[in-house]
Amino acid sequence: MVTITFHPEILKRDFHPPPLPVIFLTTRGRHHGMNNQDLPVVLHNEKRGLLTIEEGRFDVLQLSKDGRPPKRLLSSPIRNLLRVRLAGDVHQLGQHRRLEIHSLIEKGSNLRLSKMHVLVEPINGPDAEQWVEMAMSAAYGDVKPFRRVLLLVNPFGGKGKAKSICKETVLPILEGAGCKLDVKETTHRLHAEEIARDMALDYDVIATASGDGLVYEVLNGLASRKDARNAMSIPVAPIPTGAQCIALRHPAQASHSPSHAGSANALCTNLFGVKDTYNIALACLNVIKGRNLPLDLCSVLLMPSGVRKWCFISIALGLMVDLDIGTEHMRWMGDTRFLLGFLKGVAANKNFQCRLRMKVVESDKVSMARKARERSQEQVEAQRNGKVTNGMPRSNGQLGANGLVEAVNGLKVEEEEEQEGEDKRGEDKNGEERKREEREGLEAGPSSAPEVVPTMNGNGSNHDNDHNGPMAEAKPLEPDETWLTIESASKKPQIMSKGNGPVNGVADKTGGWIDGEGILYMYAGLMPWVARDLMQWPVATSGQGLLDVVVQSVVSVPTSSRAYTQVPRATMVNAITGAEKGEAYWMACQHYYKVSALMAENLDPQAQALFTLDGEAFPFTSFHVEVHPRLANVLSLDGHFFISDFLKKNHAKE
């Protein structure tokens, strides 16, 4: 953290800084005089300075007397400005007032908290009040500042360093932004689920300082409430605290840390990208300024017990279960343990005996890739052309001649005491409804909503009608003849149509599957990345209401022959090199489906008795899966998942 404050002499009433030079400032190659985006101040070194907001950036300039260009002491994107605040009594005339500036500044590829204190002279007091309001409006747009945050900390995460990471990095940033914090440490397994189930709904965001496991617990806790639909409107924001975060905070120790430490942070990868998965400061900024991103959830009904669980990332069968559960003893290796487990599984090439039934919506890889790319382009355009992009006015933070008036009218930043009073006044009988509307409306992401597939049971009835009550009771699915069945235990090959013609009178949605191929693994997901080095579902889209399912076959049928051939091990091993970029999507032996419902049945319980939901293991007899569109919320700085290179380019197969 960088802290810059003023010299104590400046506080003395008889201190008189040198007069402000009457010059034209040269900034970014353009001449201008002071305008209503500029505020004259006295710097920590007793020299004259200027605070300015221009072209989407916030700058602190030190002025010169001889007409030379000003010296830039601090420069930061306006999005990284956390808070500006005038201290002191406005009614005490003739005194300097302290202006506090809290922001995140870029240090190489990382962000660091900066705290700077400057002084405002009495003559500039009224202008300073307006400038602070304008600056906060430019920094936050229509996003609510000073959020109420429930911060859940897993003290055992990050090799036991999560607690110190929060104390040294997370708390100073959130407090610097003026967030109102309620910090709770988890003490045992499923503790976060208990907290989410019993907590009061007076928070703007639930932040989780741990991995995906804590998010899983929070979502299941919220979904189990009697007011689940209302509770699920509170967004969740992950903050990574794995071992890799320690290496980033202390670069000198990086050589002693595993290259892929902290494996369970898939949500952070999908929100911030591979390079910024462990960027703690960026994750904190997301807690402070992120916008609602509706998240699809899967309801998983375990049979025959009838127990229901919720997942937000993945469902795994076969080899992918072995990668997670079978390599638990190698967790210290981070993501690398998955690589070793995958190589071991490919060498064994074991056929997982199961039966899958899927309500397939689409299975054409070319079409799915094209649509996903078009949706990502629409999201970017919506963000660029929207009335407010994240934390920015319409013109990327550059205010025009009427910018001050527009900014002040757009957002009135109140003093802390007034804000706290407003919080208390808001706790009336309609308080929960008001807060839910704020979360779902004002702070919604700028991306246009994609098509939503209603959640249906086997009879076609909608489960989710009550928007404020509990989740509807889960019912077993009832598949019909339109569902695709894949059975890995088939002894004889049953060649099905591989074209676009009908199969049993239904449009072909087999995804090229031929009975008898055998299943190495089934992996279903709701977001593109499952780990930093594996983009398993590159065309997955949040809010679409569909589950992306990959079925990896053990053997394949060449186009020139109906003879079975084993998928070459070299093909599977080579796929590892492009796994981070989603290149395995185009493998012919990897069948890809978008489904709205799925059923799985274990045909050999003794060989593998478990399956996983978001990395959590459960007994596997059979289970039924339904997709619930836009049921939960997470926060995203851009209002959508990180857009991968896979979606930024046209593929040769398209």
Q: Which residues, other chains included, contact 493 with Cβ-Cβ below 8 Å and sequence gap of 6+?
A: 514, 515, 516, 557, 562, 564
CA-nearest of 235, 293, 635, 233 to 433 is 233
DSSP codes, 356-404: EEEEEEE--HHHHHHHHHHHHHHHHHHHHHSS-BTTB-TTTT---TTHH
* SS3 label, residue 23: coil
CA distances from 293 to 11, 361, 629, 654 (A): 46, 23, 12, 29
Query: φ, ψ for residue 134 (rounded to 5)?
Result: -65, -45
Exposed/middle/buried for 495, CB within 10 Å: 0-12, 13-18, 19+? Answer: exposed
Query: φ, ψ for residue 541 (rounded to 5)?
Result: -135, 130
d(CA 28, CA 525): 46
End-to-end Cα, the chain, rounded Å: 48
Chain length of the chain = 654
The three-point CA angle 223-229-230 to 5° equals: 115
Domain regions of the chain by residue span: 2-139, 148-289, 309-367+460-631
Q: Peptide bond before 605: cis, by omega within 30 degrees of 0? A: no
- Count other Cβ atoms within 10 Å, centred on residue 322: 20
pLDDT at 558: 53
d(CA 281, CA 383): 23
Query: φ, ψ for residue 418 (rounded to 5)?
Result: -65, -35
Fold matches, 2-139 and 148-289: no
Q: DSSP class of residue 20? A: P
Chunked mean pLDDT (size 10), the chain, 654 residues: 52 48 36 64 89 93 87 93 86 80 90 94 90 95 96 83 92 98 96 98 97 96 96 97 53 33 76 95 98 97 97 94 74 70 69 93 95 92 62 36 33 39 45 54 44 42 62 94 85 40 45 73 96 93 94 68 57 74 91 97 92 94 97 95 90 60
Q: DSSP class of residue 531? A: B
d(CA 145, CA 84): 12
d(CA 271, CA 102): 24
CA distances from 170 to 77, 177, 283, 317 (A): 20, 11, 9, 36
d(CA 530, CA 180): 32
CA distances from 141 to 74, 378, 628 (A): 22, 21, 31
317 and 600 in contact (C-beta within 8 Å)? yes
Ramachandran region, residue 575 (left: φ > 0; alpha: ψ -120 to 50; beta: rest): alpha
CA-nearest of 59, 34, 37 to 133 is 37
pLDDT at 25: 36
CA-nearest of 154, 326, 342, 306 to 239 is 154
Cα–chain center distance at 369? 22
The dihedral through the CA atoms of 611, 641, 341, 513 has a sign that is positive
CATH number for domain 148-289, candidates 3.40.718.10, 3.40.50.10330, 1.10.3720.10, 3.40.190.10? 3.40.50.10330
Q: DSSP class of residue 65? A: S
pLDDT at 567: 62
The letter for the amino acid at 378 is E
d(CA 515, CA 621): 22
H or E element that contains 283: helix 280-289
pLDDT at 422: 44
Query: Token digits for 33?
Result: 């005089």
179 and 149 in contact (C-beta within 8 Å)? yes
- Count other Cβ atoms within 10 Å, centred on residue 429: 6
Q: Which residues, other chains included, contact 63 with Cβ-Cβ below 8 Å and sequence gap of 6+?
A: 20, 21, 23, 25, 47, 48, 49, 50, 70
CA-nearest of 338, 305, 354 to 522 is 354
CATH number for domain 309-367+460-631, candidates 3.40.50.11710, 2.60.40.1180, 2.60.200.40, 1.10.1040.20? 2.60.200.40
449 and 322 in contact (C-beta within 8 Å)? no
Assessment of whether the complete model's pTM goes beyond 0.85: no
- The CATH number of 2-139 is 2.30.29
d(CA 534, CA 528): 9
H or E element that contains 319: helix 319-325
DSSP codes, 405-467: HHHHHH--PPPHHHHHHHHHHT-STTHHHHHHHIIIIITB-SSPP---PPPB-TTS-BS---S
pLDDT at 616: 92
